[in-house]
Structure 1
């Protein structure tokens, strides 16, 4: 689905731009050159993560239950497989970040550089539980990886429920396929109207399931065979989001709702494959394919470039702007390496263990 890759490429570029505009000395020097653009990235660039949440939900529904019935024989094995695929590039990027942070710490002060990690902090990150356990993040954006895993487990649990009730009169076989859809809709509504309005829950999947659930519902809506069913479902999706926004306006939910509606329409019109269309957006499509690696690896590149520019002493703002552009390019290059040598490799427990060990060793070395 190249159109989804393009959407991920654009969203990832905005998120990286958001971080480039917030951390280090370079954005301070470059800000007078483009105050409106950098101000927008600082204030609203983070909203692009909602696109990823919606697409993640869309792809989860496509993979786990394309027809509304769970197609996973061993849910626990699928959860472990998901964990392995997520953490292999994540652990590699964290190891790089721990080492780079230690190298630049003498030249950069403040909260931009993560402190030397503790052993508990390293284990918590490896288990994707750092926020739940109250540890400081070792890199920017690692919260999303933990939330993505929580959301996947929650979605799989919801869709596994009909199998538990299959022989019960509560869930006749003819209606089984609608139970996961109803459960996802109910939890999405609860998240949009209740959980997402409680900042104390932002370390949990409940806070983000509204956007994720909208993506899942968008996939199932796009699979409707009758035009009347599709029209009614798309109206229900729009009313669900509009009702949540009427209760409490949140830009992040507005972005998620628009993203879900656009994807549902694109799926219905068979635009996701871009069949027969010029491939002028190929660079964005390629960027989308490495977006996860780029999301993980750009922060240590950002730290290293900021430290290098600081060593130049007093300089003009255009040098900072150029440094930010170079940082983005180097981040893409690093992401290509991480994607090729780690992300696309088959997940194995031996590889996960080796990468986990590398993170622990690097953390203990820099903390010694």
Structure 2
């Protein structure tokens, strides 16, 4: 059997997870959600408490796609670890820096008109530098935008995977795959139970590794061994400490294997809107907070006490987030920026952020 590394199933899953993350943040960051809450209190509470679980879907998909590009047969197929990590940094950091710059500007615009906890404070030099270098949580600086911690974790997980494969170059595939299993066990059974480690890759590696195992299960002539390993790792993790995030990661990994091995789905073109959203999900994820800030400020100023109009404002913020994400994807992300370009944009983020702080 022949399997493509990228499939409409992947894009549909990313699209659904992206939409859920945006709605989680719309429910989490007011004031529109505060005013609209009486219209659908149960839905708002669910989005507030559980919408963030969609991050586990991205972690599993990230591991699946990472191993597809780095070591599909269990052996590193890249030549230089440093070059692979630098390419990843460039692809992540340029749209990231552009989106953070937009957030700094949006926050400066709304700060005089909206006194709300969701509005970021004026950025400091240390905060700007830490965010630009994806180090904000590690060095104890506040994030400039919602959800940017995930970008730092994604980069850490990719770099960790590259270093793992590079260190085992020349060894049999089973050795490297066994290392992934051991890393998943350590993460799921130990590190993921330590909240103080949630700014490090080891905390999330279990979900990422489940995505890697799902890839190998999809490619295997018989997936039973990989499925058993996934079930054992997840089952023991849940027996030690039941965590909803581990359940979501496990279900995502098993669903990937079932769907991507299904003969009739191999030629499925997917649902076009969700496929397109999945393809640009990273850009939407990055830019939606600045859009939501602006819409929150406008709606709360014009209609501060209307639940219906604030609910419509949330719908509008979602639609505008998709539109803004599409522009960021078309104009920046899909061009595959290099790491020197990323450093230029990061320097621009720091410089403009300081200028904004001085002028406001």
TM class by smaller structure = over 0.9
* 1:50-89 paired onto structure 2 within 5 Å: 50-89=56-95
Q: Which residue of 2 aligns with 1:224?
A: 220
Q: 2:119 aligns to what SS in structure 1?
A: coil
Give the counterpart of 2:250 among 246, 254, 257: 257
**Aligned equivalent of 2:121, options 107, 112, 115:** 115
Deviation at 1:238, TM superposition (A): 1.2
The question of 1:98 aligning with 2:88 is answered no
What secondary structure is seen at the aligned counterpart in 1 of 2:242? coil
Contact 1:101 1:300 in 2 (8 A): yes
Quick check: 110-119 or 78-87, which moved more? 110-119
Query: Cα distance 1:73–1:358, how it changes in 2: closer, same or farther (>3 A)?
Result: same
Residue in 1 that maps onto 2:178: 182
Inter-partner Cα distance in structure 2 for 1:79 and 1:73: 11
Mapped partners of 1:271, 1:218: distance in 2: 19
Q: Deviations over 1:180-208 (max 9, x none)?
A: 11011101011000000000000000000
Structure 2 alignment gaps of length 5 or more:
1-6
- Confirm or deny that 1:139 pairs with 2:145: yes
Work out the CA distance in 2 between the residues paired with 1:259 and 1:49. Answer: 11
Contact 1:309 1:323 in 2 (8 A): yes
How far apart are the structure 2 equivalents of 1:67 and 1:202?
Answer: 30
Q: How many residues align?
A: 352
- Aligned match of 1:150: 156
RMSD of the alignment, in Å?
Answer: 1.4
Q: Distance in 1 between matches of 2:173 and 2:225?
A: 18
Given the two structures, how large is their TM-score scaled by the length of structure 2? 0.95
Q: Is the 8 A contact 1:4 1:272 kept in 2?
A: no
- The match for 1:322 is 312
- 5+ residue gaps, structure 1: none
Q: Quickly say closer, same or farther: Cα 1:320–1:153, change in 2 above 3 A.
A: same
2:134 counterpart SS class: coil
- 8 Å contact 1:107–1:310 — kept in the other structure? no
Name the TM-score, length of structure 1 as normaliser: 0.93
TM superposition shift of 1:272? 5.9
Work out whether residues 24 and 47 of structure 2, in 8 Å CA contact, stay in contact via their aligned partners in 1.
yes
- Deviations along 1:288-333, whole A, 9 cap, x unmatched? 1110000000000010011101211543210000000000000001
What is the aligned partner in structure 1 of residue 4 from structure 2?
none
Shift of 1:354: 3.2
Task: Tell whether 2:355 aligns with 1:365.
Answer: yes
Determine the structure 1 residue equivalent to 2:34.
28
Q: 1:339 to 1:73 in 2, by over 3 A?
A: same
Name 1:311's counterpart in structure 2: 301
Aligned pair 1:48/2:54, yes or no?
Answer: yes
Work out the CA distance in 2 between the residues paired with 1:353 and 1:161: 27
Q: Secondary structure at the match of 1:21?
A: helix
- Paired with 2:340 and 2:265, the residues of 1 have a C-alpha distance of 36
Deviations 1:250-299 (A, max 9, x none): 000000001011112223225664x1x464x1101111111000000000
CA offsets per residue over residues 149-197 of structure 1, 9 Å max, x none? 000011111112222xx4xxxx5xxxx1111110111010110000000
- Which residue matches 1:206? 202
What secondary structure does 2:28 align onto? Answer: coil
Task: Rate the CA distance shift 1:261–1:51 in 2: closer, same or farther, 3 A.
Answer: same
1:126 paired to 2:132: yes
Asked whether the 8 Å contact 2:197–2:203 carries over to 1, the reply is: yes
Q: Distance in 1 between matches of 2:135 and 2:178?
A: 29
